[in-house]
Structure 1
């Protein structure tokens, strides 16, 4: 049953529809007529392949010329659509596969699935747990059901280890296990490679300490559950970083980055996860021995020259580490190939025996904790809807600058395609009362290589949106006046799912290497800047602007460097609102509003700043459920850490890595104090990965384990990454 507007309108007699159309055209005022004319020009300029955009414009023209009778029916049709959708959802809510998220706990309660924490805005769902509960109970007591339970509850990759199988014990003569010997075979390279990992197969002596407290592992009643928090993220047909005609690096910024495998789905429910089933870095020997498993189109990695993938038979897997002279200077790479193509998955490097005659493309997977800072993950729900026209680069316009210039009157969208380099430093001028969105196409991550400041100016009530790009070399600059010496009246600036590279950037193409400089410079008072799910370097801003940062990382490359301040780097910058964010470096703001965040900062020995984090106005703003370095000058803190002077040494953030580009970048370490790992207002972790709700995932798993463990068995939960 569907009651859309056109169907209802067609039910009316023709005489009423004709009169309504005439009335609608006669009541159009001059400004609306001008707007309709602009829409008609856009419609006439669209090519055949943009049928959806044309339909949207025709719909907008129709709405602007709509008569009073059709406008009334539009309201009625809208309410009928709501009722129709509600009736359909009521039916869908009867089934766990199709029900709304809020219904999941109620269906779970009907079959006795209890004890799970419900989190409304979490990225993971309880739906798989409830859907598979009956299946769990049929197989309870087996290691495979515990592994599936861990995957479904946490929505992380998981592997389970039965440690009694790895005990070096005297064997019962009526039940011999020839594979379980009490010594390590030093010729078995694969067993030696996986020592002290979840895939260790070498027998161990018994350890009587309790596994639940993560003390001992190898004992008869012990079961180990390993959770892989770092995911494997793809980049397809990306342009690698070129060092010279023979040497390339997979990472577009020339960083040594480990290549990850693409986890394979397990074929049967009784199968326990192996290394190929979880996201882990590729080892050189593994890739060498199992090339067909990991290398090729649609697999973990591939190298392509022109339109052809390099034949795996002509590839050598080896160590391409730096070769240095007696003074420690890098003079090249080890093991440069004489005839084959060499790949080093540990460092993310590739070397050719002879210079490729066609462009080189690489497809690979890298490790990271969350969908942040741009990538091939879906971002379509963050795109501005109804913003037209849409110009694609390079399909519609060859350069970003030409596409932006074409929107100088109407506003609209510039969508950058492909995982390539784009060597431009565009000047962005947003027309008054309009909006321009510069974004990467969905499931693409282009690299914008700028040679200086990317200036953003606009007219009255104008907005600019940046979405999904990685920007190297330059910085985003919002000046006080534009190039024509006119005042900048830009109203809003949004940065979503972007990386404004922290620290120094390498030379790429004709763009020279750039030192560590501020990546966002705001000179315009009154501007509202919003940063979400992005990685960004230092920020400089004037008093009077307002900067809001959520679910992001601000990295000054060192906790004694200045991450946020005024333009000089020595005084108070704009008003700062920070939520679910990790800030590395000193902060000096006019007004501080902070929640569920980490400020990892410290003073130099003879620092001129009175504190590592300070706000100018202490009667405004708030600081809650966040970590601040001791001595910070901020509004009265509420449930912040360290809570007492005695905790300042023990309660400090511990990170897996603080090097941008590492898989564990800004991830809280497993031994980080619980006051920080569970210190947010909802008992999740503080910082950039708050929205992952990692403590809640583990708590949900613990709540369900007892039901499915065999009597007398005990489980320990560990992080595989």
Structure 2
């Protein structure tokens, strides 16, 4: 629509505007006789509004022409043209991405030709061949923090006694340097390596310790924060805690700090590296404190535990006993232990950083939040009108009973705390409720075992007698956004309109053991019982979906899964099914997602760019299709197009299968494709990206473009390799 649709109409004389407003007579036939009728006026106004919309497009294009002179403000299509003026070589795949058109193509084009790389072309060529430049290229081209290492000085060689020893040559191992020994094999390893190690690493890491060679160590996992959240008590008698509210071991990562100068070589403080025990013990002040990697509070104090009271220990078996007033921290496992005489009485709170691949599931990362003008917002958290979720819900119900216009409401949680309460949302016809986290927080809903004779799930159901109308527009709707739910699942029943999970985590297996094994591996995270809800799951992580519907009297419900992980905790368990492993009475639509487990459903309307790491069995094969997916052999599916391992052939079925860094929720590399995963999976999507939930990271395109840049800026005669550190 035009910004001013009446801008042209207002320029007309008053005579024409009044005449245009009059009803225009028309002639219709009624029983064979002509009968004059009148239609509403202002046809000229409607025509000029369409012309004004096109005029706005022309004016916007003229205004954009000045912005297109500068790389910082130009349109995405103009980036390679400005780059050509300074000799920038267009990266692979840019023209193809631009030719596709649309918002998704524009986003991909921006990733393939980043503005920062074009803007720094001239200065980069002046610094050609330097290690800091290679690190900067990795950040601008691939958005990966990196450390460049020249391997020739790290190769152990014999020196002639007739020549002066080289001061820059790496030395042999000094067993008394414990902190440096802890970095053996890491990007910060400064010891010399022999020829045998050179040959092994040459095959594994593309030339490490094999001169001439440069290695670029990159970190694909990102640091995510958890701010002022409660810790989990493992043992109250011995005062043992974990940083993670789920009770699992979570390795802490460094909160990266900017490098001081463009010529600086990245250190462990500048990249999201995992914190080591020895490094933390030697430089505790660099990691602990406000604005740093982690902090600990106790008993509700406003001031954190003093730095002098923190000690670093190995808490693998919980045998270490801190002294009085001491707080033992294990950064490798994410564990905390207090002394017997200084045990916290009113709880422990922590701030820390963990590693994960992308903005997926509940987290403190930025999300797009909207607030329609006619929606009432009820805030929950410390210092807010309500301290519990159900208190805000009841207040909304009371106000809605007095004023029926308040059918739309938002319950917004403002902190990263844990909410332990029984939750049941009963919605009337026409209600629209959104329960969400505020921007920058990650609240946790802990559904405890309140009663021994019922499941204690989070219940969503309509009130009695709120049947859905023919169009379904008055059916109640519920949206959950930015939440982490543990302890139990979510139970949806009755005639619902929409049920939306967005940026949420329904912990697979309900909760986790210390080693990230699920506590209840076969329990469902989402139960859809006798409901008409259209389920939409976006950028979320959840466990098994169980559908209990009448297959005779009702139509199949719709389940839309996009950019998410559906985890049954084992590829032999059911990720989507009805009770007793029967077909779920549902039609599934799945895009760019990873399914760990078997799928038994009525039909699949569309599946694209996804991984099914478990057998798929549909009742109706004539509905829908699968395209650019991985489906295990022996599956019963609708027609397939460019799916694996079909393209690889029967002889390659065992080779072409997805391999993950980890399949346990709670680990840093959860459902991340491993480095040795076949190219048919890592590049098997429609646009050449990887299959699965992290498709939109465009990892293969980043790697290709980074290699192209390394070839351009390396010294003559040098080769380089990319080493994935995470």
TM score, norm. by length of structure 1? 0.82
1:145 and 2:148 correspond: no
Equivalent residues of 2:231, 2:348 under 8 A apart? yes
Q: Render the CA deviation track for 1:61-92: whole Å, top value 9, x for unaligned.
A: xxxxxxxxx99999999999877765554333
1:615 and 2:618 correspond: yes
> What aligned pairs does 1:121-200 form with structure 2 within 5 A after superposition?
121-122=107-108, 124=111, 126-171=114-159, 176-178=165-167, 180-200=169-189
Match of residue 581, structure 2, among 547, 553, 569:
569
Supply the distance in 1 between the matched residues of 2:509 and 2:651 (Cα, whole angstroms).
34
Q: Render the CA deviation track for 1:100-125: whole Å, top value 9, x for unaligned.
A: 33332332233232241335334846
Equivalent residues of 2:493, 2:531 under 8 A apart? no
The residue number in structure 1 matching 2:503 is 497
Shift of 1:551: 0.8
Q: Render the CA deviation track for 1:239-275: whole Å, top value 9, x for unaligned.
A: 1112344222100111111011111211111111112
Supply the distance in 1 between the matched residues of 2:336 and 2:375 (Cα, whole angstroms).
42
Shift of 1:336: 4.1
Supply the distance in 2 between the matched residues of 1:286 and 1:417 (Cα, whole angstroms).
35
Shift of 1:472: 0.8
1:375 and 2:372 correspond: no
Q: Render the CA deviation track for 1:126-178: whole Å, top value 9, x for unaligned.
A: 11111111111111121221121111110011111101121222447766433
1:463 and 2:477 correspond: yes
Equivalent residues of 2:154, 2:170 under 8 A apart? no
The residue number in structure 1 matching 2:569 is 557
> What aligned pairs does 1:460-609 form with structure 2 within 5 A after superposition?
460-480=474-494, 488=495, 490-505=496-511, 516-541=522-547, 542=549, 544-592=556-604, 593-601=606-614
SS of match in other structure, 1:322: coil
Supply the distance in 1 between the matched residues of 2:7 and 2:634 (Cα, whole angstroms).
68
1:352 and 2:338 correspond: yes
User: CA 1:618–1:8 in 2, change beyond 3 Å: closer, same or farther?
Assistant: closer
Equivalent residues of 2:583, 2:619 under 8 A apart? no
User: CA 1:387–1:134 in 2, change beyond 3 Å: closer, same or farther?
Assistant: farther
Greater alpha carbon shift after TM alignment, 241-250 vs 283-292: 241-250
The residue number in structure 2 matching 1:303 is 296
Q: Render the CA deviation track for 1:399-441: whole Å, top value 9, x for unaligned.
A: 2123223444421211011110111232223443342111000
1:217 and 2:217 correspond: no
Supply the distance in 2 between the matched residues of 1:222 and 1:387 (Cα, whole angstroms).
62
Shift of 1:448: 0.7
Shift of 1:502: 0.3
Match of residue 252, structure 1, among 239, 245, 251:
245
Supply the distance in 2 between the matched residues of 1:691 and 1:506 (Cα, whole angstroms).
28
Equivalent residues of 1:573, 1:588 under 8 A apart? no
SS of match in other structure, 2:581: coil
1:287 and 2:280 correspond: yes
Q: Render the CA deviation track for 1:296-352: whole Å, top value 9, x for unaligned.
A: 0100011122111111111110011225xxxxxxxxx43344441111111111112
The residue number in structure 2 matching 1:268 is 261
Shift of 1:506: 6.2
User: CA 1:193–1:474 in 2, change beyond 3 Å: closer, same or farther?
Assistant: same
Greater alpha carbon shift after TM alignment, 250-259 vs 135-144: 135-144
The residue number in structure 2 matching 1:314 is 309
Q: Render the CA deviation track for 1:205-263: whole Å, top value 9, x for unaligned.
A: 34479959844321221011111111111111111112344222100111111011111
Supply the distance in 2 between the matched residues of 1:585 and 1:707 (Cα, whole angstroms).
44
User: CA 1:228–1:385 in 2, change beyond 3 Å: closer, same or farther?
Assistant: farther
Shift of 1:184: 1.7
Supply the distance in 2 between the matched residues of 1:361 and 1:81 (Cα, whole angstroms).
54
Supply the distance in 2 between the matched residues of 1:8 and 1:413 (Cα, whole angstroms).
40
Supply the distance in 2 between the matched residues of 1:148 and 1:479 (Cα, whole angstroms).
53
SS of match in other structure, 1:651: coil
User: CA 1:463–1:700 in 2, change beyond 3 Å: closer, same or farther?
Assistant: same
1:235 and 2:210 correspond: no
Supply the distance in 2 between the matched residues of 1:711 and 1:210 (Cα, whole angstroms).
23
Supply the distance in 1 between the matched residues of 2:653 and 2:699 (Cα, whole angstroms).
24
Supply the distance in 1 between the matched residues of 2:656 and 2:513 (Cα, whole angstroms).
40
SS of match in other structure, 1:670: coil
Supply the distance in 2 between the matched residues of 1:281 and 1:523 (Cα, whole angstroms).
43
Equivalent residues of 2:328, 2:338 under 8 A apart? yes
Supply the distance in 2 between the matched residues of 1:433 and 1:279 (Cα, whole angstroms).
47
Greater alpha carbon shift after TM alignment, 250-259 vs 539-548: 539-548
1:422 and 2:426 correspond: no
Equivalent residues of 2:508, 2:521 under 8 A apart? no
Shift of 1:629: 1.2
Supply the distance in 2 between the matched residues of 1:85 and 1:675 (Cα, whole angstroms).
43
Supply the distance in 1 between the matched residues of 2:140 and 2:389 (Cα, whole angstroms).
43
Supply the distance in 2 between the matched residues of 1:584 and 1:560 (Cα, whole angstroms).
9
Supply the distance in 1 between the matched residues of 2:720 and 2:259 (Cα, whole angstroms).
22
Alignment RMSD (CA, Å) = 3.2
Corresponding residue pairs, total: 634
SS of match in other structure, 2:393: helix
Greater alpha carbon shift after TM alignment, 424-433 vs 124-133: 424-433
Equivalent residues of 2:153, 2:170 under 8 A apart? no
Equivalent residues of 2:380, 2:412 under 8 A apart? yes
Match of residue 385, structure 2, among 396, 403, 415:
396
Supply the distance in 2 between the matched residues of 1:304 and 1:89 (Cα, whole angstroms).
51
Equivalent residues of 2:499, 2:533 under 8 A apart? yes
User: CA 1:170–1:321 in 2, change beyond 3 Å: closer, same or farther?
Assistant: closer
Shift of 1:569: 3.4
SS of match in other structure, 2:537: strand
Q: Render the CA deviation track for 1:431-458: whole Å, top value 9, x for unaligned.
A: 4334211100001000011242222234
1:111 and 2:86 correspond: yes
Shift of 1:375: 0.9
Equivalent residues of 1:284, 1:345 under 8 A apart? yes
User: CA 1:387–1:86 in 2, change beyond 3 Å: closer, same or farther?
Assistant: farther
User: CA 1:7–1:444 in 2, change beyond 3 Å: closer, same or farther?
Assistant: farther
Q: Render the CA deviation track for 1:517-566: whole Å, top value 9, x for unaligned.
A: 11111124542111111000100124611101111111111111111012
Q: Render the CA deviation track for 1:564-615: whole Å, top value 9, x for unaligned.
A: 01244333341111111111111101112211111112xxxxxxxxxx2111
TM score, norm. by length of structure 2? 0.81
User: CA 1:515–1:197 in 2, change beyond 3 Å: closer, same or farther?
Assistant: closer
Equivalent residues of 1:600, 1:653 under 8 A apart? yes
What stretches of structure 1 of length at least 5 have no aligned partner?
A: 12-69, 324-332, 481-487, 602-611
Supply the distance in 1 between the matched residues of 2:378 and 2:443 (Cα, whole angstroms).
16
User: CA 1:238–1:224 in 2, change beyond 3 Å: closer, same or farther?
Assistant: same
The residue number in structure 1 matching 2:102 is none
Equivalent residues of 2:170, 2:190 under 8 A apart? no
The residue number in structure 2 matching 1:645 is 650
